[in-house]
Structure 1
Amino acid sequence: MSEFLQAVLGFPTILFSFLLVIVVAYWVIALTGLLDLDDVDASWLGLAGAPAGVTLSIVITLGWLLSLVGGQLVSAVHLQIAVLIVALAGGWLGARLLVVPLRRLYPDERGPSRHDFVGRHCVIRTGQVTADFGQAEVTAADGSSAVVQVRTTGDDRLARGDNALIFDYSSSGEFFLVMPYERDH
């Protein structure tokens, strides 16, 4: 066991060992739900297609393994610096190969959502809209239109043909909240 600890705490593996501790802490926090895994994309590493947390975890883990093995094979200091460079390059290259199948798990575009209508103009299609009833036609960003359930709050009164602005979506009631809106033509 002491040989293993010596190898893990020796140069160049110690650099990756420190980073590996951070990776393990990251995943423990992520698994507890305290951290969102849909973080930034790792395209700045040339490894686009998966979240940076996943990609960096792969790079660091592979780099740690390569530096551990390489550090045991060479003892000269100038060769250990070469092991560090090879471990970094090997970790990056291995991550690049592993990220390709992961890209299917993290699609580039998210699907359409009802929340996409929030902030959009709509036209009332029912006789009136109250806090309990109403429908309106809204046009999506792609040009398609949909008739959606809408409700008002407070004393707002809306009737057929009135323009309104969707300002919120109620997931529990599956309706949009609207308010009167005068369009500038």
Structure 2
Amino acid sequence: MNEFLQTMLSFPTLVWSVIFAFCIVYWLLAVTGLVHHDHAHIEAGSGHVDGHFHADGHAHHDHAESAGLLARLRLDGVPIMVVVTLLSFWAWVVTYFVQLLVLSRLPSGISAGLGVLTLLGALIPALPMTMLLVQPARALFAKLNPPETRPALGSVGTVTTPSVDELSGMASFADGGAGLLLQVRAQPSNRFKRGQRVVLLEYNAANNTYFVVAEDEFNA
């Protein structure tokens, strides 16, 4: 028991111990109702963020970047805190055993340097393990959330990612409520930049994306 505590409270394991402990406390408080459990999540495949957009443009941009990153990593479709909890748990497991079996047996100077590498490197195996567990959890959270109301074709939105082309891109659209953040695509010959206004022209059910054109072109 002493060895367990010593390893858990030693660098670099301590960092992930604190993060994972915070996640546990969060979920305990959420269960007891002492904190509001926000079910905000990134909609699988669509980049739709449940929750209100802030009036601050920087906050809106952060939502877009976070949605795009989680979608690319296939960590969308579940509450963000689920992703953080799983990621911190697996990173903690990796750092714990590296500290126990390797770093604790090395001179302090060497172990400190390798500890920094271990702290960050733990994310490499933790990420695929988290992705593996998120996949089956998507179905559960899909049942807990109402079906998405799709925006009408012809809706006008604003590009939120650095660019939109035939392979990637996201744009925000008003829906009379919280707003939608959708995966959009353009023709190979077109490339839209952040802030440009685009119009939904066609929905691709195969990959849950929307084909868009420039608002000026649509109105021409």
CA RMSD of aligned residues (A): 2.6
Matched, 1:99 2:119: no
Q: 1:30 touches 1:37 (CA, 8 Å); kept in 2?
A: no
String of CA shifts for 1:75-112, please: whole Å, max 9, x gaps.
Answer: 23333233222312222221111111111112297238
Does 1:5 find its partner at 2:5?
A: yes
- The code of the aligned residue for 2:102 comes to V
The percent identity for this pair of structures is 29
Task: Point out where structure 1 has 5 or more consecutive residues left out of the alignment.
Answer: 114-185
| 2:164 match | none
TM-score of the pair, normalised by structure 1: 0.54
Q: How does 1:121-160 map to 2 (within 5 A)?
A: none
* Aligned residues between the structures: 114
Quote the residue 1:52 is aligned against.
80
Cα distance in 2 for partners of 1:10, 1:24 equals: 20
Q: Deviations over 1:1-50 (max 9, x none)?
A: 22211101111101001101211111111111332241233744331111
Write the letter of the residue equivalent to 1:49: G
Report runs of 4+ in structure 1 exceeding 4 Å deviation.
none
3-state SS of paired residue (2:128): helix
Equivalent position of 1:27 in the other structure: 27
**1:153-168 map, 5 Å:** none
The answer on whether the counterparts of 2:41 and 2:76 sit within 8 Å (CA) in structure 1 is no
Indicate the residue corresponding to 2:100 in structure 1. Answer: 72
What does residue 39 of structure 2 align with?
Answer: 38
1:110 maps onto 2:146 in alignment:
yes
- Over 3 Å counting, the alpha-carbon distance change for 1:112 and 1:95 in structure 2 is closer
Alpha-carbon distance in structure 1 between the residues aligned to 2:115 and 2:124: 14
Aligned amino acid, residue 104 of structure 1: A
Letter in 2 for 1:98: L
Separation in structure 1 between the aligned mates of residue 19 and residue 4 of structure 2, nearest angstrom: 17
Q: Deviations over 1:131-165 (max 9, x none)?
A: xxxxxxxxxxxxxxxxxxxxxxxxxxxxxxxxxxx
Instruction: Give structure 2 stretches of 5+ with no counterpart.
Output: 43-65, 104-110, 150-220
**2:17 partner amino acid:** S
Counterpart CA distance in 1 for 2:137 and 2:123 is 21
Q: Report the structure, 1 or 2, having the larger helix content.
A: 2
Q: Report the alpha carbon displacement of residue 64 of structure 1 after superposing the two structures with TM.
A: 0.7
Q: Distance in 1 between matches of 2:148 and 2:97?
A: 47
1:73–1:112 Cα change, 3 Å: closer
Name the SS of the counterpart of 2:142 in structure 1: coil
Between stretches 30-39 and 56-65, larger displacement belongs to 30-39
Normalising by structure 2, we get a TM-score of: 0.46
SS of structure 1 residue aligned to 2:139: coil
* Cα displacement (A) at 1:51: 0.7
